[in-house]
Structure 1
Amino acid sequence: MRSGGVSAAALERDLAARVDGEVRFDAGTRGAYSTDASNFRQVPIGVVVPRSVEAGAEAVAVCREHDAPVLSRGGGTSLAGESTNAAVMIDWSKYCTGLLSVDPDGRRCVVEPGVVLDHLNDLLSPHGLRFGPEPATHNHCTLGGMIGNNSCGSTAQRAGKVVDNIARLEVLLYDGTRMWVGETSDDEYVETVRAGGRRAQVYRQVRELRDHYLAEIRRCYPEVPRRVSGYNLDSLLPEKHFHVARALVGSESTLVTVLRAELELVPVVPAQSLVVLGYPDIAAAGDAVRRVLPHDPIALEGLDDRLIHFEREKHLYPEALALLPEGSAGWLLVQFGGQTTEEADRKARAMLDDLCSSPHPPVASFFDDPAREAELWEVREAGLGATTRVPGLPDTWPGFEDSAVSPDRLGDYLRDLRKLYGEFGFSEASLYGHFGQGCVHSRIPFDLVTASGVGSYREFLERAADLVASYGGSLSGEHGDGQQRGELLPKMFGADIVRAFGQFKAIFDPGNRMNPGKVVAPYPIDDKLRLGADWEPAETETFFRYPHDGGSFSRAVLRCVGVGRCRREGGGVMCPSYMVTREEEHSTRGRARLLFEMLAGHPDSPIRDGWRSTAVRDALDLCLACKGCKSDCPVNVDMATYKAEFLAHHYAGRIRPLAHYSMGWLPLAARLASLAPRTVNALATAPGLTDLVKLAGGVARARAIPPFASESLQAWYARRGPRGSGRRGEVVLWPDTFTNRFHPHIGQAAIEVLEDAGWRVVTPGGTVCCGLTWISTGQLATAQRVLRRTTRLLHPYLRAGTPIVGLEPSCTAVFRSDAEELFPRDPDVSRLRQQTLTFAELLYDRTPGWQPPSLGRPAMVQTHCHQHAVLGFNADTALMREMGMDPRVLDSGCCGLAGNFGFERGHYDVSQACGERVLFPALRDAPDGALVLADGFSCRTQIEQGEAGGRQAVHLAEVVAMARFGDVPAARPEQAVERPSSPRAASLAVLPGLGVAAAAAGGLAARAAGQRIRDH
């Protein structure tokens, strides 16, 4: 295979032989790296993930020998196409993440290019220092990417852009020249030139270029705080001390490879206050900026009414939105800092006093509570996600998303920009951004899939560039030029300076091998689009109906805009596999990219085998189907659903993995096993049988599968019958497989508590199931049949409006989400979604006057992923607090077991690593008197089988029952709960065999029918 004249096979061979790192030229990797957060797409030649800076330098050397273009990549969140190219990508983010040294007195540190900003600032916090610029992607952007882009963020109001915070850079030229560069005095320059060699040549040519264009640089560079477009030739001016490092900042990997960076740091601001100012419209808010700036805020952001409307439509941050001053359509968020809260407050009140004396004073709200301030900043940071995929509106795209003008002229610019939007039919686009520095963010509903739409996109960009230039502004105030703005730079700088850019590049990269086609001699703005007029994705009839994506799987996959929040190293639920493996293909974004490539919308896609793709299958294999992305992703990508859809098509008409039979058919296997549970549990411990049956069922050898209960919940209920007054009415307690067959004591506790609270509890008998295990293994036709049977059984209760209470979060989430995705037009399924409640929701929200029992205990709480993503946990925490408990909800993400995932062969190590990130250590350190609470069967099983200090978890229903009806032990209170038991090391290993038998008995006859897409 050749790519642009380069023999990819020979290049891959030499890289693998010489580079200490991961060399990936496979279809899956190339597909995952084919685009960033921009409108553009180029499939890379291959990807190198170096294990050290030296290995990265060696990769460049090998590429030079093959004349292969090179591109460095950090978090891959670029919005202008600068981190996508037909080149060898060097991804620094996995291994080259070191903080090499810190000089607290000099306020400097040296870092490697892959370190994530938040991680760096955490390491610097003991010194009371931080790196100043902080873009909204701070929890996953890398310092190398920030240097390449000249990043900013809201804190740039105080600290400046990245270029203002760089002391020195260690850089590598494509020709192999390696050097530290920085500020250069005249004496240092003379000494450098006298030493001779390539370094001397570079310095001499750069100095000559600066001197030749000195007048043009002074005249043509805009005097605005956020001039990010173009190369930083102004950093070479004499008054800026010929700062070569700063001249290279923002060069987007088109000049050099950055190996290390010496950063200038700023002190942490100990105390902050926030004022929110309300104005009649966003332009009036822009007008007010010039009056706010003299008060020296440390951040000054603007929001318009459209952004707030979009966030309300998406149900984002409702409590924070309620804090905004009412009666306004434009807001300024003004933050002040000080050594104390009193000092910060004093500055804020001085500004308010000044503004109140103006002819048209704003409406104002004042906050000095850090928690409230954080909530309001989340409203601002959600801008990109909130303005994407707004219900009922066309999709929006970057392209003109970060223009900047002088803050003194911001109001007039916003009026003219809004007028231009109106001419092109973009009136619904939001305007917000870093108003204190004149930077305006916006996503625009371009039509990028028809020839006329692409033509309009070009015409708008040219007109908008003219508008910015007329204001003496910058095309980019934050995100860089790349391909998106490179072609438009002459409008901003003029022909002479653009010519100087080309000469500057030629000094460092005469062969044009560094990220070619970006900034200098750029690809046209309507070329190499991610979509484009020729984009024709394959549309396939699907099982899920994607009602929120126009019924289209391809449009569902396009939800991913590349912002990369799924690449966080910790915090939240999304994305557990990435947090463990640090692989792009194991992030939600990487998987979405592969699914996009799979749909064959472009003839050069590296994924050529559609739904049968092994590359896509392998990327999805480590997806835990936790649904964390459904809630944590700014645009609600639902990779668990996409994985199930893919598996259904991938294995259509083919033999599936053994685990799909043993665990996909678990409900039937469990029903068979419950005929003789003691016998089955005894067989599980038989020497020699355990490993054999696990092997046959595709189960990880290290796993112990929980034993069956001696009596199911349904059998217990049938024997016992309903009790209590039932004065509040009737509820259905759903007997999910896990509660019914494994942990019926939880169901028994729930029934007793609900009856005590005044409800008459009904538990359906017979064969009932939500279909979860078939959904998670992609056996969707079977899942549809199961759900059809379930809705028929529940039909009388659904028509009567009877609440359906679920105890197992994953099964409850099927009723609240997946079922309607499969049957969006079924009225009973819609009723099922509306009437399904969690145990806590029924007690806390639907049982007025009920007094919960008192239990003054701390609790370590592991929230099930599906509850986090679909059901919500507010009622649970509220109920615990009302009981007098002190719940600590762990920020541990997915426990790692995730239903069948952690049991499957090949997943055990990743499963345990997920638990070891936060959950296991937290439980090992938990006080003996604390409750360990986990409503999910998977979570409880993972805790019991993992390195959790011997702790076991209980369900909230058990906790309420213990507090109401019994004594709670002082130490390890979970010991009061009775559980089915068998030897921990080898419990029910026969289960997989039963699963296979169940599949054979109940499913194989339906396999052919199971591949058809049934009625929806």
Structure 2
Amino acid sequence: MVIDLPAPVQQRPREQPIDVDALSGALRDRVDGEVRFDAGTRGAYSTDASNFRQVPIGVVVPRTPDAAVDAIAVARRFGAPVLSRGGGTSLAGQCTNTAVVIDWSKYCHRVETVDAGNRSCVVQPGIVLDELNRQLADTGLRFGPEPATHMNCTLGGMIGNNSCGATAQRTGKVVDNLARLEVLLYDGTRFWCGPTSDEEYAEIERRGDLRSSIYRQLRQIRDGYAEEIRRRFPDIPRRVSGYNLDSLLPEHEFDVAGLLTGSESTLVTVLRAELKLVPVIKEKSLVVLGYPDIGAAGDAVPAVLPHQPIALEGVDHKLIRDEQLKNLNPQALSELPQGRAFLMVQFGGDDQDEADRRAEQLIRELRGSEHEPSVAFVDDAEREAELWQVREAGLGATAHVPHRPDTFEGWEDSAVPPDRLGDYLRRLRGLYEEFGYASDTGPSLYGHFGQGCVHTRIPFDLYTAHGVRAYRRFMERAADLVAEFGGSFSGEHGDGQSRGELLTRMFGDRIVDAFGRLKAIFDPQDRMNPGKVVAPYRLDENLRLGGDWGPWDPQHLYFSYPDDSGSLAEAANRCVGVGRCRQHSNSGGEVMCPSYQVTGEEEHSTRGRARLLFEMLNGHGDSPVTDGWRSDAVHDALDLCLACKGCKTDCPANVDMASYKVEFMSHYYRGRPWKRPRSDYAIGWVPAVAQLVSRLRIAPLVNRLSHTAALHAVAIRLAALADREVPPFAEQTLQQWFTDRRATGDGHRGNILLWPDTFTNNFHPQVGRAAVRLLEQAGWRISMPSGPVCCGLTWISTGQLGVARRVLSRTVRQLAPHVRAGGLVLGLEPSCTAVFRSDAGELFPTDRDVRKLQDQTVTLAELLTEHSPGYQPPQVDRSAIAQVHCHQHAVMGWAADHELLQAAGVDVEQLESGCCGLAGNFGFERGHEEVSKGAAERVLLPRVRDADATTAVLADGFSCRTQIHELAGNGRHAVHLAELLADADDDQHRR
């Protein structure tokens, strides 16, 4: 029986009005999941990691794959387009559309079965790659492809894009690692698919159902276009552009799952996937080869490939420069060999000797050849991981570099035959020069050089109409260049909207016609992610910026945003969508984003909040967020931000959501103090209350009252606080103790001003007393302000920035004589220290005394390691686990503490726990209890409970110590670094 193929989908149908209220109601009635059509959700999902922006109709978060089937059935009833989304990190615009977005990542992340004997597993599409591989660890197997976003990309997204990553040198693309897919068509047809033998095909055809009709039409596609497919599809390792029509050829066993891989949610919805697994490489070694330029590095690739590396990556000196400017991976960068371009060649083996042998053989064969490099050889796993971060940090490192034009994706993913890579890189550089993109600060080139895949971010001017026209011309010229080299426009990121329009230049009219016919087989109404790949939107429409972008840019701000030209619009645009904030573990010691880790909500990630702030500025006039500073949608998203500042350091684009949050909250409540939560006043004004309690010496009375059950219940209700233990006031403050004591020691190192922050002074003065004992033994003379002082932290963290500025200004004036004389200021509480080191400078950018205070404030560890020559700490000789305060992680860092503890003989483990969850005021505010405790229970509290009784629990932050004291149980409590060392010092002197 002959079936004529449907006419190709060649242009998007005219959109018919959709009854959105009825659609959302029907979804809520039928779907087991969360249905969200609110402004905040739509704003948070309005873009991905690309240049494009389209506000979705609404978002469905299904709890099961079957719930997603129901959601699509409802969408079909209303004629609404549908878009599946995983981690939302796509760079070509395929994860943004005016459609019903199905977000798989929150609930549909189960590993359903594992068959270690057959090296396979079945997963739901929302599972994150790193999480999958963690769950497979005991089997000795893993899923092979590993993109740089492995900590937050989902398997569904990887299938949609046909992802690869550095490991594809060994394991290939996703299409090479799939056994079967369970898929759903927009019309409701549902089936499992994979390679199909003639016998299996005959059985499917006999059924006479919708699936059989689809398979017959796919056979016609195969038979009608086979020779053209073989002629026009580039025979290179990294051809990802277009649909995988080659998977239908006999040599690929009529693999329908392979055909649908990389189709970017435009043909089907993937419900489940059966994956092929590979053995974990037991040992690895890394060789870094240095060359004079990136073209020479590309030329050397064919000489390296016969040695069968498991990864072969390239980076140029501009990527290294950008990472140095952003202080990324400093230790690893210092270990690179000489050169201005580098190949990172990784070998694997069953043991270290085998991996090293392979690396040494490569070095021997390159020595004396035309491709002889300078060499750095690494076989230490920790150093190797640091160097690998140099390559993985590429996207973030090149996005927002200080004092450089912003760079953008668009032509970030081309691939050519590896044996022509050097010539292509030189020609691409020439194209940069022709378009004025290749200044000394121009784009870096890096990527998966072993498979000819080149990544880059280009300083396109996407802010003006002229710049957008130049961007279009460049894209067209670059496409022609790759076609000339027999390459692919995309090597792993997909086509989406960036490259869909250009596919004719690569494949020719006939193959693009076949793509349209394929689309018509699976989605004749063009309801699956319309406008991407087939009948695509133009590459210069739906731009997130563009010449017509005209955002509201508020002028009266509290923070100065020095890295964003003082502009909140530029700050909100800083997020590039890479999704690092959506991590599911704190491996590598990262902190962000604790609320996302607990809730799994896009709006509670740094990226989601940044998108909402961007939408609040309404640069295109169609934003769902329309109320500016009065936006409840933005307020609600920011409310669960812990202001941990983790993103300030951990985000590749250095988004500082803690500052954005308090800036917004200050304006949101401005002129209407009655709307501000009472908890803001109760917590924000703690320093004033503490000063009153201290002056009247009524701490015992206040403590009795606050710990009387009935009065406690009344107080927390009146103050709108969470039902938590109220930290007791110290009966003698640090300042009172210091005034009454007699100094000891000779003070030969000079004078240090110890800052009596509110928490150390009024709640935990034992920390300050320990610091004084320790420092006097170390030869320092201690001074301390005697009157009431405060850095303003609690007013900053509650968004009362007007009060904070007044308090901080008064403090700076009091400290001015000391800092003008060159004196150091010692901070014991990390959050208060961070105010002096960071917030103060952004609140008072032109104040010279503030700049001096910023430069001359030190932590205890910095004082003893960097400003105390010859100092030897007392020997502690015990193990410890350390909860590093978020603000210390983000602003001061923990390197000096680690160095000091090692010198003291402490076997210390820095917990990969992220934020403790209390986060100053956050955990005390009503409505935050679940997130606060959830953050603590992820890693911190279990590790504290499991620690041996002799193991010290180190936590310099008052919040961290409070959280551990209240929630860890078993009488466990944490100590400050000063207490640990001072106690050891006292013991040493007693002996």
Please report the TM-score for the alignment, with normalisation by the length of structure 2: 0.97
Correspondence for 1:817 among 819, 838, 862: 838
Amino acid at match of 1:916: E
**Partner residue of 1:921 out of 942, 948, 951:** 942
**Cα deviation 1:170-207 (Å, max 9, x = unaligned):** 00000000001110111211221121110010000011
2:300, 2:371 within 8 Å by CA — same for their partners in 1?
Answer: no
Q: Check if 1:560 corresponds to 2:571.
A: no
Q: What are the Cα deviations for residues 62-112 of structure 1, in whole angstroms up to 9, with x where unaligned?
A: 101111000000000000000000000000001110111111121111110
Does structure 1 retain, via aligned residues, the 8 Å contact 2:734–2:769? yes
Alpha-carbon distance between aligned partners in 2 of 1:950 and 1:457, rounded to the nearest angstrom: 63
- 1:62 corresponds in structure 2 to 74
AA paired with 2:88? G
1:911 aligned to which of 932, 957, 960: 932
Equivalent residue, structure 2, for 1:693 = 715
Does residue 587 of the first structure (1) align with residue 601 of the second (2)? Answer: no
Output one character per residue of 1:45-71: Cα deviation in whole Å (capped at 9) or x when no partner: 000000001101110111011110000
Structure-1 separation of matches of 2:88 and 2:835: 34
Q: 2:543 aligns with which of 514, 523, 529?
A: 529
Q: Give distance in 1, aligned partners of 2:116 and 2:776.
A: 63
Deviations 1:888-916 (A, max 9, x none): 11110000000000001111121111110
CA deviations over 1:113-150 (Å, ceiling 9, x no partner): 00110111111121111110000000111000000000
Name the structure 2 match of 1:214: 226
- The equivalent residue for 2:874 is 853
Contact 2:58 2:101 (C-alpha < 8 Å) held by counterparts: yes
**Following TM superposition, by how much is the alpha carbon of 1:349 offset from its aligned partner in structure 2, in angstroms?**
1.3
Match of 1:53 among 46, 65, 71: 65
Supply the distance in 2 between the matched residues of 1:601 and 1:517 (Cα, whole angstroms): 23
Look up the equivalent residue of 2:720 and give its one-letter code.
Answer: G
Question: Shift of residue 557 of structure 1?
Answer: 1.1
Alignment partner, residue 628 of structure 1: 646
Distance in 1 (CA, whole Å) between partners of 2:75 and 2:573 is: 33
Matched to 1:488, the amino acid is L
What residue in structure 1 maps to residue 898 of structure 2? 877
2:10 corresponds to: none
Matching residue within 147, 153, 156 for 2:168:
156
Residue deviations 1:817-872, cap 9 Å, x none?
00001111111111111100001110121111122111111111111000011011
AA partner of residue 625 (structure 2): I
**Contact 2:146–2:168 (Cα < 8 Å) also in 1:** yes
SS of structure 2 residue aligned to 1:213: helix
Tell me the alpha carbon deviations over residues 716-774 of structure 1, each in whole angstroms, 9 at most, x when there is no partner.
11222544322111110000000111111111111111111111111012121111011
1:280 aligns with 2:292: yes
Q: Distance in 1 between matches of 2:970 and 2:180?
A: 47
Deviations 1:783-825 (A, max 9, x none): 1111111111011111111010000000000000000011111
Matched, 1:738 2:756: no
After TM superposition, what 4+ stretches of structure 1 lie above 6 angstroms from structure 2? none
Q: Secondary structure at the match of 2:447?
A: coil
Determine the structure 1 residue equivalent to 2:388. Answer: 377
Aligned partner of 1:193 in structure 2 is 205
- Cα deviation digits, residues 539-596 of structure 1 (max 9, x gap): 1121000011111111011110000010001112100000000000000000000000
Task: Tell me the residue number matched to 1:396.
Answer: 407
State the partner residue of 2:357: 346
The answer to whether structure 1 residue 271 and structure 2 residue 283 are counterparts is yes
**1:233 paired to 2:266:** no
Shift of 1:3: 8.6
Q: Which residue of 1 aligns with 2:681?
A: 661
Q: C-alpha separation between the residues in 1 aligned to 2:745 and 2:336?
A: 48
CA distance in 1, matches of 2:985, 2:725: 33
Contact conserved, 1:732 with 1:763, CA < 8 A, in 2? yes
Count of aligned pairs:
966
2:106 paired residue among 72, 76, 94: 94
Find the aligned partners of 1:948 and 1:857 in 2 and give their Cα distance. 22
- 3-state DSSP of counterpart to 1:494: helix
Query: Which residue identity does 2:707 align to in structure 1?
Result: T
Query: Once the 2 structures are TM-superposed, how far is the Cα of residue 156 of structure 1 from its aligned partner?
Result: 0.2
Task: Structure 2 unaligned segments of length 5 or more: list them.
Answer: 1-13
Q: Which residue of 1 aligns with 2:907?
A: 886
For the 8 Å contact 1:923–1:949, the answer to whether it is kept is no
**Distance in 2 (alpha carbons) for counterparts of 1:229 and 1:801:** 61
Map of 1:681 onto structure 2: 703
Paired residue secondary structure (2:597)? helix
Matched, 1:174 2:186: yes
**Partner residue in 1 for 2:780:** 759
2:558 aligned to which of 535, 539, 543: 543
Pairs within 5 Å for 1:1000-1011 = none
Distance, in Å, in 2 between the alignment partners of 1:82 and 1:360 is 40
What's the counterpart of residue 466 of structure 2? 452
Distance 1:65 1:968 in 2: 81
Backbone CA RMSD of aligned residues: 1.2
* Contact 1:663-1:773 at 8 Å conserved across structures: yes
Residue of 133, 148, 151 corresponding to 1:121? 133
Q: Does residue 1:409 correspond to 2:409, yes or no?
A: no
State the AA in 1 paired with 2:718. A
Structure 2 letter corresponding to 1:357: G
Question: What letter is aligned with 1:546?
Answer: Y
TM-score normalized by the length of structure 1 = 0.94
Amino acid at match of 1:122: R
Aligned equivalent of 2:366, options 317, 335, 355? 355
Question: How far, CA to CA, are the matches of 1:490 and 1:866 in structure 2?
Answer: 51
State the partner residue of 1:987. none
Which amino acid is the alignment partner of residue 387 of structure 1?
A: T
Counterpart in the other structure of 1:138: 150
Distance 2:704 2:176 in 1: 70
Question: Match for 1:323 among 335, 338, 359?
Answer: 335
Q: Distance in 1 between matches of 2:15 and 2:946?
A: 54
Give the Cα separation in 2 of the matches to 1:251 and 1:503: 14
Secondary structure in 2 aligned to 1:261?
strand
| Distance (Å, rounded) in 2 between the aligned partners of 1:967 and 1:368 | 40
2:236 to 217, 221, 224: 224
Identity rate of aligned residues, in percent?
64
**Distance between the aligned counterparts of 1:624 and 1:48, measured in 2?**
26
Which residue of the partner structure matches residue 6 of structure 2? none
Matched residue type, 1:663: I
Match of 1:898 in 2: 919
Alignment match, 1:989: none
Q: Does 1:386 align with 2:397?
A: yes
Q: Does structure 1 retain, via aligned residues, the 8 Å contact 2:109–2:124?
A: yes
- Answer whether contact 2:418 2:449 (CA < 8 A) is retained: yes
Matched to 1:410, the amino acid is L
Query: Residue 495 of structure 2: SS of its match in structure 1?
Result: coil
Output the amino acid matched with 1:467.
L
In the alignment, which of 243, 255, 265 is matched to residue 255 of structure 2?
243
Q: Is this contact kept in 2: 1:3–1:45, CA < 8 A?
A: no
Change in CA separation of 1:577 and 1:968 when aligned onto 2, cut-off 3 Å:
farther
Out of 852, 860, 865, the position equivalent to 2:886 is: 865
The structural deviation recorded for 1:678 is 1.3
Q: Who is 1:710 aligned against?
A: 731
1:496 aligns with 510
- 1:370 positional shift: 0.8
3-state secondary structure, aligned to 1:183: coil
Gaps of at least 5 residues in structure 1 are 970-1016
User: Which stretch of the first structure deviates more once superposed, 824-833 or 573-582?
Assistant: 824-833
